[in-house]
Amino acid sequence: MKPLSRFPSWLRRSVRFNKEIIETKTLLFEKNINTVCQSARCPNIHDCFSRKKCTFLILGNYCTRSCRFCAIETEKKLSPPDTKELFDIRDAVRDLGVRSVVITSVTRDDLEDGGAGHFADCIKILREAEILQPGVYPERSRRGLQDDQMGETTESSQSGHLNIEVLVPDFLGRKSSIERVVFARPDVFAHNIETVPRLYKEVRPQADYKRSLDVIRHAKGFSAEIVTKSGLMAGLGEDVDEVYGVMRDLKRAGCDIITIGQYLKPDTGCLDVKEFLHPSKFEQFSEWAKEIGFKKYNCSPFTRSSYLE
Amino acid sequence: MAELKLPELAEGVNEAVVSFWHFKEGDTVKEGDEVVEMATDKAAFNVPSKTAGTLKKIAANEGDTVKVGSVLAVIE
């Protein structure tokens, strides 16, 4: 008899052996760049790094919060933001040859602006590189590159424009911080709601459901043109009706794009997975997202905020 | 002869458990065939063969915990 895996059949990833993965890892290592792909031990890393895709993690590799779904270590005293980190990312984006980039960060409640200025600088530095050196981001027509980021429009991928998506923390709800990031004109402004309100205390003890909704609401209110995006994890003990409620709340807050994926326990100290949701439940979420009227949506077990299946 | 070693499955994860073998000793495998399923705390991963040949030896049994870099199988 075949012994049972501890994971259901739909939660399989394939390991790849190719030079692109090695090149991606080497480049990140040499420049000492943090990625959430590595910090979160993401199982999609083989696929993404094979395509030279990664999600950059700025403001260091330690977090002032201690969310129970996340493997990133908590520290109360952290180093100030380092501009070198941003120039290294700019160079990495050039060297990887990607047409779209996702920038996220740890949460920095120790900083007066929560790190919003660093996000704005990052966008500016990437945009300047684009303007001053038109050849820096050459046309690419590699398969998959144009569709794998939902905020990316067809026009932008064809015009040589670098698509910049930022996935920001809640900045403790500071409106000035949200505005600072939106004002820097990323292509997509994302903030993840992560879970249903009932589970916030257990999953995100230092966060607040309404505050997170208000991040999206304020970004959209500040600039109607900004594309807003949010994501949540399934499998933490929520029921599907609660997920529906969150989807409705996000839509009302002005969220354009939604992603829902299976929560997977990244480290021994993190919350256990309560349920491995069958793919049919994710299909149900997609149906609801369509009904509710999200412009784009992606719901599947391995969907992540910056990984769409 | 090629040794199939356990690659790094996710960043900083230095071991994994053999879930099951998709092949048995003596079977013929092609390059890219997924030979064995490994599980970490976070997810399950299928490890492909880098070469074509005969699966000569299975070096880790189902249920065994294996370190990254250890030999899982010999293919020749």
Interface list for A 148-167 with B (CB within 8 A): none
Q: Number of A:B CB contacts under 8 A? A: 71
Q: What are the tens digits of pLDDT across the range A249-286?
A: 999 999 999 999 999 998 888 999 999 999 999 999 99
- Cβ within 8 Å, pair B20-A5: yes
Q: B28 lies in which domain range?
A: 2-75
- Cβ within 8 Å, pair B46-A13: yes
Interface list for A 264-303 with B (CB within 8 A): 264-268
B12 neighbourhood in chain A, CB within 8 Å: 38, 41
**Range picked from A138-152, A157-171, A263-277 for highest mean pLDDT:** A263-277
Residue-level pLDDT at A5: 65
A37 neighbourhood in chain B, CB within 8 Å: 11
Distance CA A102, CA A83 (A): 17
User: Per-residue pLDDT averaged across A49-73, rounded?
Assistant: 95
Distance CA B34, CA B24 (A): 12
Which of A14, A39, A267 lies at the smallest CB-CB distance from B48?
A14
pLDDT at A94 over 70: yes
**Total structural domains within chain B:** 1
For residue B75, the one-letter residue type is I
Interface ipTM > 0.95: no
Min Cα distance A255 → chain B (Å) is: 29
Residue-level pLDDT at A142: 38
Considering only CA atoms, which of B5, B24, B26, B1 is closest in space to residue B76?
A: B1
Confidence of residue A155 (pLDDT cuts 50, 70, 90): very low
- The DSSP bridge pattern shows strands B15-21 and B2-5 to be unpaired
Residue-level pLDDT at A249: 98
- Cβ within 8 Å, pair A11-B46: no
Confidence of residue A150 (pLDDT cuts 50, 70, 90): low
Which of A2, A14, A38 lies at the smallest CB-CB distance from B34?
A14
Residue B3: both structure tokens together: 């040794």
A192 contact partners, CB below 8 Å, separation of at least 6? A167, A212, A230, A231, A232, A305
- Cβ within 8 Å, pair B48-A3: no
Q: What are the tens digits of pLDDT across the range A100-137?
A: 999 999 999 999 999 999 999 999 999 988 765 555 65
pLDDT at A17 over 80: yes
pTM for the model stands at 0.90
Interface list for B 13-42 with A (CB within 8 A): 13, 17, 19-20, 34, 37, 39-42
For residue B62, the chain A residue with the least C-alpha distance is A3
- The ranges assigned to domains in chain A are 19-299
pLDDT at A138 over 70: no
- The DSSP bridge pattern shows strands A257-262 and A163-167 to be unpaired
pLDDT at A140 over 90: no
- Is any Cβ of chain B less than 8 angstroms from the Cβ of A37? yes
**The CATH number of the domain where B64 resides is what?**
2.40.50.100
- Cβ within 8 Å, pair B48-A15: yes
DSSP class of residue B60 equals S
Mean pLDDT by 10 residues, chain B (76 residues): 90 91 95 93 92 94 94 94
For residues A207 and A172, is the Cβ–Cβ distance under 8 A?
no
* Most A CBs within 10 Å, among B41, B61, B65, to test the A interface: B41
Report the first-to-last Cα separation within chain A, whole angstroms: 32
Considering only CA atoms, which of B51, B60, B47 is closest in space to residue B30?
A: B51
Residue-level pLDDT at A131: 65
Which of A5, A38, A264 lies at the smallest CB-CB distance from B37?
A5
Residue-level pLDDT at A77: 85
- Cβ within 8 Å, pair A3-B19: yes
- E strand or H helix at B74, and its extent? strand B71-75
CATH architecture of the domain formed by A19-299 = Alpha-Beta Barrel (3.20)
Cβ neighbourhood burial of A133 (10 Å; 0-12, 13-18, 19+): exposed
pLDDT at A157 over 50: no
Min Cα distance B26 → chain A (Å) is: 18
